[in-house]
Structures are given as C-alpha cells and as structure tokens.
C-alpha cells in the first residue's frame, strides 16, 4: 500500500475540561491540532504553559491574566470571546427546546433566547463583527450536528412539509403518524424544525416510545392551540404541556433557521441545529438525510427542497443516491405537478429507481423500511 502524499491533519476537539484533562493524563505534550471551544481554562494555567502551543486554536476560551498572550506568542491562534451577543458563536453542542424557550413558562415568547437572537440578527447583520459571529456560530453548529449524528446507529430520514399545516388538521396528523412510524422502524427523523408538518413529524417521532392512543391524545391537546399566531407563547406552552405529560420521548432532529425567525422552532425535536444562514441549513438537512427524504404536500419552500434534493441525486454517483418519497398523488401530479418533471429528469439515471410517489404515510414508511 502506497504511503499518503502528505501528512494527514489531526484535529482534536475540546469542549470541556474533562476532555482536556484526559488528553493530558494520557501523556500529551503537544497541542497542535487541538481546537478548544468555549472552555474556561483559568484553573489549568500551569498545565497549559507546559504544553507546546503551536497549531492550537482557542475559540471563546477564558484564561488567567498573561496566559493568553503567552500562548499567542508561542503560535496558538486565539479567537476572543465576543461581547454583547445573545448567543455563543463558539458553542460546542446543539440547542434544545428548553434552552431556546427558557422562561416561557412565566414570561412571553418575546423575552426568551430564541426571540432575542432573532431580533439581534435583524438589527446587526450588516456589520462585519456580526457577520463573523454568525459564520462562526453556523460552523460550530454543523460541527456539533455531525458529532451527534456520528454517535447514532440510526439512518436519518428527512421529512419535508409545509409550515401552514395547523394543529388539529389532517395534514398535521398525517405528519405526526409518519414521524411515529419512521422512528418505530429504526430511523432518526429530521425536519426543518419549524411549525406545521415539521412539528407534526417531530411530535410523532418523540411519542414513538408510547402507543398510538397516546399520540391521538397529544394531537387533541395541541389542537386547542392550532398555530403560533396570534400567540407564540400559548403555542409553545401547549407543546411543553405534552412533553411534561409524556417525558420519555424518543430523539429526533430539527434544523430551523433564524432567517425565518418569525416562525418559532418546535420543541419536540430533542436536538435542534439552528442556523443563521438558511441556504446552509437547507443543504445540510438534505445532505444528512442519507436514509431518504419524505416530501409531504407543501408550498414554495417544500418545492424548492424537492428540486434541491433531486439535483443532488441527479448528479450523484451510483450508490450515493438517496430515496425520494413524495406523498399525495393528486397533489404532486395535478395540483403542484412536480412528479412528471422529476420522472422525466430521472429517466436513464441511477435516481430513477429511488423516486417514489405514494398516497399515504404508511406507504412512505414501508418504502423506506423495505
């Protein structure tokens, strides 16, 4: 076997003191390739100055006086903590609904972190420092997302659908039943993380550890607050009421964006990878759904996702094509006639065998599970 043409880069991610201490205890002497994210290192000054610092990267870390300058002088790259931000651009983990909606039990949505971050993004996005902060944040979220997915044995299936499907509607219930069935079949459900069909799919995935009757009861509870207008607060509190009643839910993933900050994220996704950049968020959601993607009826955003996924499959090498399952023959053939175009594009290409049109969420689940 031939040797590689160049040395392979080694990156070690350090997001807490436990990881740092373990590396030092293991005999490490050189921090080259170590990436620290938001770690308070004030109690490790003595150890830090004994290690070789060239090639290390520190992002938003805290040091004792003098240590930062010493490390920089020895070749470390240090990104300082950025003040006056309602978020941590160097965070090393995904969000949760509890974190984004902190305070919703006693206060209004406008005062919770999710809303504060959205309002910040509207006011400061053109500035250079805010552009750098959002770019660093989205990079950190992607890194945390891949760390999360790397630890899971389950294939990821994306569920795409309209945000307008109200709680209590048949469309919302169908999305919930799809999420429930997919998770019970061994998939990790990933959605755009917003309201409507996205929330329905995350709800069904969450309640897949319970029976179908429990899901029906939850749908009735949520139906009392059909949408996030006029009150996001009431909408969110209804969701937390369901989680409190059924606390042992299954994991699922939501990938929303502050670009659509007027639409709140749903809290049924156990892990939330929320981005500032919508284009990046859409690409990552489709790219990570290697188990396939289910498209429920939706408007322009869903249609865009259909063709973005189709483009990836059209040019993909054989063996890298992921199934596309469109639910609703009348909708996708007549009302929004996407399917005839997809069929034409797929002729003679590997994606032809991975394109499916079905009439029910049960059929969609069977296609992917089979």
First-to-last C-alpha distance (Å) of the chain: 38
- 31 and 176 share one domain: no
Burial status of residue 85 (CB atoms within 10 A of its CB: 0-12, 13-18, 19 or more): middle
Domain boundary residue, one of 62, 79, 96: 79
pLDDT over 80 (residue 250): yes
Residue 64: phi and psi, rounded to 5, are -70, 160
For 190, the 3-state DSSP assignment is strand
Look at residue 160 and tell me if it is in a domain: yes
For 90-141, the pLDDT digits (tens) are: 999 999 999 999 999 999 999 999 999 999 999 865 678 888 899 999 999 9
Quote the pTM value: 0.92
For 315-346, the pLDDT digits (tens) are: 998 889 999 999 999 999 999 999 999 999 99
Domain boundary residue, one of 50, 79, 108: 79
Look at residue 64 and tell me if it is in a domain: yes
Alpha-helical (H) ranges within 82-186 are 97-100, 113-124, 128-150, 170-184
For 175, the 3-state DSSP assignment is helix
Look at residue 66 and tell me if it is in a domain: yes
- 156 and 20 share one domain: no
- 157 and 24 share one domain: no
Burial status of residue 165 (CB atoms within 10 A of its CB: 0-12, 13-18, 19 or more): buried
Residue 238 near residue 224, CB atoms below 8 Å: yes
For 285, the 3-state DSSP assignment is helix
pLDDT over 50 (residue 4): no
Full domain range(s) for residue 45: 12-79
Q: How many distinct structural domains can be found in the chain?
A: 2
- 153 and 276 share one domain: yes
- 172 and 304 share one domain: yes
For 160, the 3-state DSSP assignment is strand
Residue 228: phi and psi, rounded to 5, are -85, -5
Position 9 confidence tier, pLDDT thresholds 50, 70, 90: low
Among 294, 233, 293, smallest CA distance to 267 is for 233
Indicate the length of the chain as a whole number. 370
pLDDT attached to residue 370: 79
List the beta bridge partners of residue 325: 294, 356
The b-or-e profile of 286-295 (16+ CB within 10 A means b, else e) is: bebbebbbbb
CA distance 264 to 267: 9
Q: Does residue 29 come out as left (phi exceeding 0), alpha (psi in the -120 to 50 range) or beta?
A: alpha
pLDDT attached to residue 5: 44
For 186-226, the pLDDT digits (tens) are: 999 999 999 999 999 999 999 999 999 999 999 999 999 99
pLDDT attached to residue 2: 44
- 68 and 169 share one domain: no
CA distance 180 to 96: 20
- 210 and 291 share one domain: yes
Look at residue 353 and tell me if it is in a domain: yes
- Percent of the residues in the chain that have a pLDDT greater than 70, as a whole number: 97
- 58 and 162 share one domain: no
**Beta strand 34-37 with 293-295: parallel, antiparallel or unpaired?**
unpaired
- 276 and 154 share one domain: yes
Look at residue 242 and tell me if it is in a domain: yes
Position 81 confidence tier, pLDDT thresholds 50, 70, 90: confident
Look at residue 335 and tell me if it is in a domain: yes
- 153 and 244 share one domain: yes
For 343-369, the pLDDT digits (tens) are: 999 999 999 999 999 999 999 999 998
Burial status of residue 98 (CB atoms within 10 A of its CB: 0-12, 13-18, 19 or more): exposed
pLDDT attached to residue 349: 95
Residue 265 near residue 100, CB atoms below 8 Å: yes
- 74 and 147 share one domain: no
Residue 262 CA, distance from chain mean position = 18
For the segment 169-190, the average pLDDT, to the nearest whole number, is 97
For 12, the 3-state DSSP assignment is strand
pLDDT attached to residue 83: 85
Domain boundary residue, one of 79, 103, 132: 79
Residue 215 near residue 181, CB atoms below 8 Å: no
CA distance 205 to 270: 10
Residue 327: which CATH number?
A: 3.40.50.450
Look at residue 169 and tell me if it is in a domain: yes
Tokens found for residue 203: 């709800």
- 60 and 151 share one domain: no
pLDDT attached to residue 54: 96
CA distance 73 to 4: 32
Look at residue 151 and tell me if it is in a domain: yes
């Amino acid at each position: 076997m031939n040797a590689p043409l160049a040395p392979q880069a080694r990156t070690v991610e350090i997001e807490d003191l436990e990881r740092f201490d373990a590396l030092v205890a293991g005999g490490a002497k050189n921090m080259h390739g170590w990436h620290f994210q938001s770690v308070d290192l004030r109690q490790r000054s003595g150890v830090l100055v004994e290690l070789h610092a060239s090639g290390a990267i520190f992002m938003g870390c805290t040091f004792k006086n003098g240590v930062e300058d010493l490390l920089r002088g020895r070749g470390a790259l240090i990104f300082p903590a950025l003040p006056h931000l309602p978020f941590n651009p160097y965070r090393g983990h995904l969000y949760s609904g509890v974190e984004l909606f902190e305070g919703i039990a006693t206060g209004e949505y406008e005062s919770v972190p999710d809303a504060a971050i959205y309002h910040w993004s509207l006011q400061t996005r053109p500035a250079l420092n805010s552009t750098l902060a959002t770019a660093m944040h989205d990079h950190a979220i992607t890194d945390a997302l891949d760390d999360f997915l790397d630890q899971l044995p389950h294939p990821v299936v994306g569920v795409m659908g309209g945000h307008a499907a109200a709680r209590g509607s048949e469309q919302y219930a169908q999305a919930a039943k799809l999420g429930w069935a997919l998770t019970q079949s061994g998939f990790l459900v990933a959605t755009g993380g917003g309201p409507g069909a996205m929330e329905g799919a995350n709800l069904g995935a969450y309640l897949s550890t319970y029976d179908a009757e429990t899901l029906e009861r939850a749908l009735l509870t949520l139906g009392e607050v059909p949408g996030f207008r006029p009150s996001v607060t009431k909408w969110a509190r209804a969701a937390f009421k369901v989680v409190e009643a059924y606390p042992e839910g299954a994991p699922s993933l939501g990938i929303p964006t502050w670009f659509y900050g007027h639409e709140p994220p749903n809290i049924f996704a156990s892990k939330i990878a929320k981005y500032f950049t919508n284009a990046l968020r859409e690409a990552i959601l489709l790219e990570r759904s290697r188990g396939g993607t289910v498209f429920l009826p939706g408007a322009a955003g869903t249609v865009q996702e259909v063709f973005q996924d189709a483009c990836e499959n059209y040019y993909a090498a054989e063996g890298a094509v992921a199934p596309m399952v469109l639910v609703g023959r009348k909708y996708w053939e007549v009302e929004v006639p996407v399917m005839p175009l997809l069929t034409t594009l797929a002729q003679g290409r590997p994606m032809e065998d991975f394109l499916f049109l079905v009439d029910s969420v049960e059929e969609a689940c069977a296609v992917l599970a089979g």
